[in-house]
Amino acid sequence: MTRKHYYFFAQWCAHNNISDHRMDELCEFFKEDNRAFKRNIFMNVYRAAKEEYNEYNYNLANRLRA
């Protein structure tokens, strides 16, 4: 897989509430698949996407209440 695939998976996981346990398993799988896989970069992308997604949902909920 390429970097763009890992970015896609990180964002997809953030938007689908994947558990921490599953994220650890996914990182282990990616590391086995590609020795150059960087867990810390993957998790940073995941956390940023998760924060952005949560903020979007919070703002959406506020707009719907108005």
H runs (alpha helix) in the chain:
3-15, 20-33, 39-65
Residue 66 clears pLDDT 80, i.e. is over it? no
pLDDT band at 8 (very low <50, low <70, confident <90, very high): very high
Provide the whole-model pTM. 0.84
18-58 pLDDT, tens digit each: 998 999 999 999 999 999 999 999 999 999 999 999 999 89
Using CA atoms, how far apart are residues 11 and 47, in angstroms rounded to an integer?
9
Residue 65 clears pLDDT 90, i.e. is over it? no
Instruction: Please give the pLDDT value at position 9.
Output: 96
